[in-house]
Structure 1
Amino acid sequence: MRTYNIAEGLNVNVTIMSNPYGLPLDALFAMAARINKKRAFLFVSKILGKHIPVNPYVSLLSGAALSLMIVADREEARRERASELLQDVLHALAHPEEAKQVYDKVMLDEITVRTPLTIIGFAETATALGHSVFHVFADGATYLHTTREFIPERTSVLNFDEEHSHAVAHRCYVGKDNSLMGNGPIVLVDDEITTGKTALNIIRDIHAKYPRDHYYIASLLDWRVPEDEHKVLLLEQELGIHIHSLSLIKGVIEVEGSPDLSDAISDPVLCDEQCTQTSIEYIYLDDIFNLVDVRSESEDGWINHSPYITATGRFGITSDQRREIDNSIETAAEQLRKHRISANTLCLGTGEFMYVPMRIAAALGNGVAYHSTTRSPIHAINTEQYAIQSGNSYPSPDDTSVMNFIYNVTFGQYEELFLFLERDVIQARIEPMLDVFRTKGFKQINVVVAAGNG
């Protein structure tokens, strides 16, 4: 058992039950206290590319690890090769300097599956993780991710709650070729499984509408206790199905106390002369990505008429589109490389829009760190061992009734920023976010919009 003193008054005891690959825990996650009555702490992933900056290839490999575990579990003929590649991937997760080489090696292998798979990533944290699981497969896979967004012109085919989250409602939209049809296995991807309730909720909803025999729950970390795992068995018996669980690390956690967060901080947003010296440029990637021309409606009543891009998987994509998506990402990266002014660059995804920016960041060259804005409210404490040492909040450009956060970006840490938006938004809605980044000492801020308003 290992005890993490997260904050004054709050300890989390972690007992590892299974670590079959011998992964060093400190390479996978750190801990932080979060603002949530249902759960007072957060495992802050060092490989996910969400809350803290990472080498983008490391994040892509975290999904590849889960893909290879699925292949090893399902494809006897490819089990040995998948296991070999998996060892390389897991080594690179702890040695980021080798991540690009290993990622290229995995992608050259052109992995396929005999039985089609449908992969679902959970919003917002696991949209990129789920997509990176999907993208390893050269054939036979479909991907879509759940979303918090409301799209009046589409009917959500799945609706379920994430019970421990601060933002519980999930929707799931699909295109005309419903990617949930068929009887192949469905793979549910999340960065972390705590109780498994979310996964069981969606399996129950899927099975009522699109029944099949096999489901996978794939995660980087699995903290379910025996009682939670028994619920999986009960659901298997009730529905007559098989549910396979895969994770890099399996353990249990015990929480002691509650945090005293009197020393928590939030960086002030004070625009001074330095802010006015930051150059801001808007770069529109029009005509690079295929679009889905639908509008969204936010809780604050704003209707955004800008299209979405198909490459995210929000409406479903298949392996047949993999090369097309790769080409679009490389074209976007080629355009953005012309705008780089520094070897010290931060690329930021926004909210659910994580995978495409992550791939572009990986293609921009050396000296690039990647992570994303988030809906997760986490306490920042400026101590060396604590995961989240600085943080800012601002109203989301997509929905001003929702607060967004950015963590671990300090003044002068980077020289330039590429801030990625999937869709165009009106200037007044993006200004609060830009005000935050104006205080960070960037010489250049590039606001990259994948889909303009036409």
Structure 2
Amino acid sequence: MAARMNKKRSFLFVSKVLGKHIPVNPHVSLLAGAALGVLYAELLGKRCEVSIDELVQAFTEPETAVNIYSRLMAQRVVLDKPTTFIGFAETATALGHSMYDLFAGRTKFLHTTREIINELESVISFEEEHSHATSHRCYAVDPELFQDDAPIVLVDDEMTTGKTALNIIRELHASYPRQTYVVASLLDWRSAADRAKFVELEQELGIAIPCLSLLEGSIEVTGQPVLSEREQASQHTTSTAVVKTIELGAEFEHRIVTSTTPDGFLNDKPYLAGTGRFGLLQSDNLRLEENCTAAASILRQERQGERTLCLGTGEFMFVPMRIASLMGEGVLYQSTTRSPVHPVKQTDYAIQSAYSYPSLDDPAVTNYLYNVQHGMYDDVFIFIEREVRNERIEPLLRIVKGLGFVQVNLVMFTSQP
């Protein structure tokens, strides 16, 4: 648990498997999404190579995660119907992708985004009421992505009230009606009243909304939100870290579109095509896996010790996570986030340290790096999807240079001209 700086929601469940606030074995994070996939397979009466009990065991015994993940991926579950998986930004972009990745057949994946992309029109938009950044957009390049009546699986890290899921189901059903919407999350804390709203929507629209989770229960919140400034972790001013830029653009395919931040900043550098922001089909998966394998081979040669941190940035989570899982032993993965959380140096508290910096994409947005202590690692690989000006990277670079890394690697995915 942690205290969130948000008057709409004062608390945060900090996941030990998600790879966001806490560094984790990357295979454990990949298995978190796969575990939701196993639950969905069970819902459909499909058999999986690995049981849900084995998956959960890997969360507490991460040394087994590599083998279990390999067994799962070797025997993907074939779905009989076309199925679209949607991961919610920013926290569940990788969770949704890794759930989708368990399946074969006519599957599709899309993750929502907070970004504003100029050349594309969002096929649906909806609000996440408790979030700091409330607007979600869906940029499906293929207009046929929702043009069927097959199930849609909505993936989030947790359901507290379920309002986000209900909002998107209403938006989807108004434009692309179908019979079944599945909601999958690691945690389900909905109250009896919240669950009743799902039943009401099922009856109102004549649909089914089965919900899947690894853990469910009830919560009771007391007290007032804490909105004062956080205490930042102390900075080590001296640094001998070597800073290196590694360009991986040649290993990946790109989509050239421009984005605009709310303050009018224009970025015309390409995005990766394989993240899910623009929609993925089953036919894209093998190529993305080959790209990640080639990238990991390059980065593995750059490691400077036995303790390596791979750091995703914002919504850019799955590709860095998958690359990290292929870089050898001693690699942990986590991501920066836009969620403001109070750090407290206390053994039973989830956020021990916090650093803030302006977002690489939008300096009006503050991003955070949590739970990285000085001297924890030998080196760090910071994964940056789109090229940005040096002055935008400098605040984050200044933070990591003071954390005792021997080498700081800026991993860029922009294609070379």
TM bracket, shorter-chain basis: over 0.9
The match for 2:213 is 247
Please, which of 324, 341, 363 is the counterpart of residue 361 of structure 1? 324
Contact 1:117 1:184 (8 Å CA) reproduced: yes
- 3-state SS of the aligned residue for 1:356? helix
Please, which of 35, 42, 51 is the counterpart of residue 21 of structure 2? 51
Cα distance in 1, alignment partners of residues 163 and 227 from structure 2: 29
Corresponding position: 1:154 with 2:120: yes
Aligned pairs, number: 417
Corresponding position: 1:62 with 2:28: no
The match for 1:117 is 83
Report the alpha carbon displacement of residue 84 of structure 1 after superposing the two structures with TM: 4.8
What TM-score, normalized to structure 2?
A: 0.97
The match for 1:95 is 61
The match for 1:41 is 11
The match for 2:173 is 207
Cα distance in 2, alignment partners of residues 90 and 139 from structure 1: 26
Report the alpha carbon displacement of residue 237 of structure 1 after superposing the two structures with TM: 1.1
**C-alpha deviations, 1:306-335, integer Å up to 9, x for none?**
101111000000111111111000000011
Contact 2:85 2:152 (8 Å CA) reproduced: yes
Cα distance in 1, alignment partners of residues 222 and 167 from structure 2: 28
Cα distance in 1, alignment partners of residues 67 and 366 from structure 2: 38
Q: What amino acid maps onto 1:50 in structure 2?
A: K
Q: What amino acid maps onto 1:179 in structure 2?
A: L
- C-alpha RMSD of the superposition: 1.5
The match for 1:14 is none
Contact 2:49 2:71 (8 Å CA) reproduced: no
Q: What amino acid maps onto 1:426 in structure 2?
A: R
Report the alpha carbon displacement of residue 93 of structure 1 after superposing the two structures with TM: 1.6
| 1:263–1:196 Cα change, 3 Å | closer
Cα distance in 2, alignment partners of residues 84 and 103 from structure 1: 9
The match for 2:389 is 426
Contact 1:69 1:82 (8 Å CA) reproduced: no
Cα distance in 1, alignment partners of residues 144 and 379 from structure 2: 41
- 3-state SS of the aligned residue for 1:45? coil
Please, which of 255, 280, 283 is the counterpart of residue 246 of structure 2? 283
Corresponding position: 1:338 with 2:301: yes
Cα distance in 1, alignment partners of residues 24 and 140 from structure 2: 31
Q: Where does 1:21-420 land on structure 2 (aligned, <5 Å)?
A: 31-74=1-44, 76=45, 78=46, 81-82=47-48, 84-258=50-224, 265-269=231-235, 272=237, 274-275=238-239, 277-420=240-383
81-90 or 104-113, larger mean C-alpha shift: 81-90
- 3-state SS of the aligned residue for 1:357? helix
Contact 2:5 2:227 (8 Å CA) reproduced: no
Report the alpha carbon displacement of residue 259 of structure 1 after superposing the two structures with TM: 6.4
| 1:309–1:296 Cα change, 3 Å | same
Report the alpha carbon displacement of residue 140 of structure 1 after superposing the two structures with TM: 2.2
Report the alpha carbon displacement of residue 397 of structure 1 after superposing the two structures with TM: 1.1
Contact 1:305 1:453 (8 Å CA) reproduced: no
| 1:109–1:128 Cα change, 3 Å | same
**C-alpha deviations, 1:170-204, integer Å up to 9, x for none?**
11101134322211100000000011111010000
Q: What amino acid maps onto 1:144 in structure 2?
A: L
Contact 2:254 2:415 (8 Å CA) reproduced: no
Contact 1:265 1:382 (8 Å CA) reproduced: no
Report the alpha carbon displacement of residue 83 of structure 1 after superposing the two structures with TM: 8.1
Report the alpha carbon displacement of residue 114 of structure 1 after superposing the two structures with TM: 0.3
- 3-state SS of the aligned residue for 1:257? coil
- 3-state SS of the aligned residue for 2:67? helix
Report the alpha carbon displacement of residue 269 of structure 1 after superposing the two structures with TM: 4.4
Contact 1:306 1:453 (8 Å CA) reproduced: no
Where is the strand percentage greater, Structure 1 or Structure 2? Answer: 1
| 1:110–1:378 Cα change, 3 Å | same
**C-alpha deviations, 1:362-400, integer Å up to 9, x for none?**
000000010000000000001111100000000001000
- 3-state SS of the aligned residue for 1:71? helix
| 1:211–1:261 Cα change, 3 Å | closer
- 3-state SS of the aligned residue for 2:14? strand
Cα distance in 2, alignment partners of residues 154 and 292 from structure 1: 12
Report the alpha carbon displacement of residue 452 of structure 1 after superposing the two structures with TM: 3.9
The match for 1:19 is none
Contact 1:72 1:83 (8 Å CA) reproduced: no
Cα distance in 2, alignment partners of residues 351 and 167 from structure 1: 12
Q: Which runs of 5+ in 1 are unaligned?
A: 1-30
Cα distance in 1, alignment partners of residues 252 and 321 from structure 2: 15
Contact 1:191 1:221 (8 Å CA) reproduced: yes
- 3-state SS of the aligned residue for 2:36? helix
| 1:165–1:262 Cα change, 3 Å | closer
Report the alpha carbon displacement of residue 141 of structure 1 after superposing the two structures with TM: 1.2
What TM-score, normalized to structure 1?
A: 0.89
